[in-house]
Structure 1
Amino acid sequence: MDESQEIARVKRQLRQTRILIGGMFAVVVTGGVILATGGTAVAGGDGKARFEEIDVQRINVLEADGKPRMVLANKAKSPGVIIDGQDLGNAGQRAGIAFYNGEGDEAGGLGTDSGVVDGTKQAHGMLAFDQHKQDQTLVLQYAQNGTARSVGLRVQDRPEAGMTEYVREWKRIEQMPPGPEKDAAIADLKKRYPSPQRVFIGKEPDKASAVTLADGKGIPRIVLRVGANGDPRIQFMDADGKVTRTIKG
């Protein structure tokens, strides 16, 4: 190949490269497709990224001001409980979805897990909604430990005081040495921050379907049950939880 032929070949390659680059640019600008540059997806003209499939460890859904509204994450990347801008713990322990309110506080979540621990089958799943600046107050939950299973809807009271105050006191108590003083501090903390279960509707570990209504102290007062054998009954309890009357079907 003489010199004139080589020059012509190089010119053709340059012309083809310019056409290819120009075509790619036109597609990105007019078609809104995604270019992957160094592993980063860049949105096209309409600001939307479209994928057929994506592998990810965590997705953060944010408001325009940067506050979180939802986080979808695996266990290792899961966020801690955030209230009043403070991380109260549990980061890296809860695979699933965390919900947040407009203030950036955690407001509930969806999670599930299962496995075999020391030869025992265990599983749980939960959809929960939190009281403002507090813990879960409405819960749809499944829990299994071996052959014992419980599934149902739970309603819990929560104290008016926020979670940050409770966690601060709990962490202080945790540092105390075991003994009567620590036990008394735990009992006092539970008394000052009561969280009684008020309602349960579901299936209990003994396979009975049940509706339990409790008072403000969490003591069951009315229980409707249908045993696994089909026997129905309604029980009424006093303030100490003692059965005072039973109606059998």
Structure 2
Amino acid sequence: MKTNQQNFFWKFLAISQTLVLLYFIFTGFKPDTLNPKFEEITVERINVVEKDGLLKMVISNAERQHPGMIDGKVLFERSRPAGMIFFNEEQDEVGGLIFGGNKEQGSNFALSIDEYKNDQIMQMSHYTNGKGQTSHGIKLWDKDKNFNLPRLLHCLDSLTKLGMSQQKAFVEMEKLNGGPISSVRMFVGKKYNKSTGLFIRDELGNERIRIYVDEKNQPQMEFLDEEGKVLKNLNTEL
């Protein structure tokens, strides 16, 4: 009889605990608990996703920063500064905001926008080098349509497997392409030499027009050839 009473007690206890657990499961997750508010939170990385789990943004420190991806595939492991990285619906990286700095290497801040299936085509940035010189402004790139990022990475992987360095592989790819895969076309801002203005380049990346105020506070408007030689300076003709 005593054994039956003990069995009943343990069954009752188990059922009671189960009911209490179910109660907290179904009543504990109220709107307030689904949308908690924090005065302060300390994390190393936050992944912002859609309801279906699609990654849209990563906010991270340098150590845990996302290396970037295209078509949902990670590009390659690499170190990147702390900041935010953005992704589209096809799980391509489409830009980001990064920052960092120290006494030895200087500081950096950059907000970049990537072309579809390609690398950055526009960037607002600020840089300070180890000598304390600063450069900041907006830069535009051209990307060759024949070498989008997936093809570039495929060729780079193939050439490096043949023993080429990345630098030499890029040179070979540009030879194959018959021209630059990526080139800066324009910079508006302040250079390290203190020249401030508009600097326009040709499709090969050579500066061809400069409209700026130099480090001596003198206005300049220069036209250059492909080798960088000044063909005409309107300031000298005034």
TM-score by length of 1: 0.74
* Cα RMSD, aligned residues only: 2.6
1:159 is matched with which residue: 129, 134, 144? 144
Q: Are 1:149 and 2:134 an aligned pair?
A: yes
What secondary structure is seen at the aligned counterpart in 1 of 2:182?
A: coil
CA distance in 1, matches of 2:109, 2:51: 31
Matches within 5 A, 1:145-224: 145-147=129-131, 148-160=133-145, 161-177=147-163, 183=168, 185-191=169-175, 192=177, 194-224=181-211
Cα deviation, 1:8-42, whole Å, max 9, x if unaligned, reads xxxxxxxxxxxxx9xxx7xx769744xxxxxxxxx
Change (3 A) 1:177 1:61: closer
Deviation at 1:90, TM superposition (A): 4.3
CA distance in 2, matches of 1:90, 1:224: 41
Amino acid at match of 2:141: Q
Aligned length in residues? 207
- Given that 1:129 and 1:137 are in contact with CA atoms closer than 8 Å, whether structure 2 keeps it comes out as yes
What secondary structure is seen at the aligned counterpart in 1 of 2:173?
A: helix
2:123 is matched with which residue: 120, 139, 143? 139
Cα deviation, 1:185-204, whole Å, max 9, x if unaligned, reads 54231342521101101111
Deviation at 1:242, TM superposition (A): 2.5
CA distance in 1, matches of 2:159, 2:31: 57
Deviation at 1:93, TM superposition (A): 2.5
- Given that 1:153 and 1:201 are in contact with CA atoms closer than 8 Å, whether structure 2 keeps it comes out as yes
What secondary structure is seen at the aligned counterpart in 1 of 2:135?
A: strand
CA distance in 2, matches of 1:175, 1:188: 14
What secondary structure is seen at the aligned counterpart in 2 of 1:165?
A: helix
Deviation at 1:238, TM superposition (A): 2.7
Amino acid at match of 2:136: V
Cα deviation, 1:140-171, whole Å, max 9, x if unaligned, reads 11222222322111000112232122122223
Q: Are 1:129 and 2:113 an aligned pair?
A: yes
CA distance in 2, matches of 1:124, 1:56: 22
TM-score by length of 2: 0.77
CA distance in 2, matches of 1:245, 1:207: 21
Amino acid at match of 1:78: Q
Q: Which residue of 1 aligns with 2:50?
A: 63
- Given that 1:78 and 1:91 are in contact with CA atoms closer than 8 Å, whether structure 2 keeps it comes out as no
**Unpaired runs of 5+ in structure 1?**
1-20, 34-43
**Unpaired runs of 5+ in structure 2?**
1-19
Matches within 5 A, 1:1-249: 32-33=31-32, 44=33, 47-116=34-103, 120-147=104-131, 148-160=133-145, 161-177=147-163, 183=168, 185-191=169-175, 192=177, 194-248=181-235
- Given that 1:154 and 1:200 are in contact with CA atoms closer than 8 Å, whether structure 2 keeps it comes out as yes
CA distance in 2, matches of 1:108, 1:88: 14
Q: Please identify, of 237-246 and 48-57, the stretch whose mean Cα deviation from structure 2 is larger.
A: 237-246
- Given that 1:88 and 1:164 are in contact with CA atoms closer than 8 Å, whether structure 2 keeps it comes out as no
Deviation at 1:176, TM superposition (A): 4.5
CA distance in 2, matches of 1:92, 1:48: 33
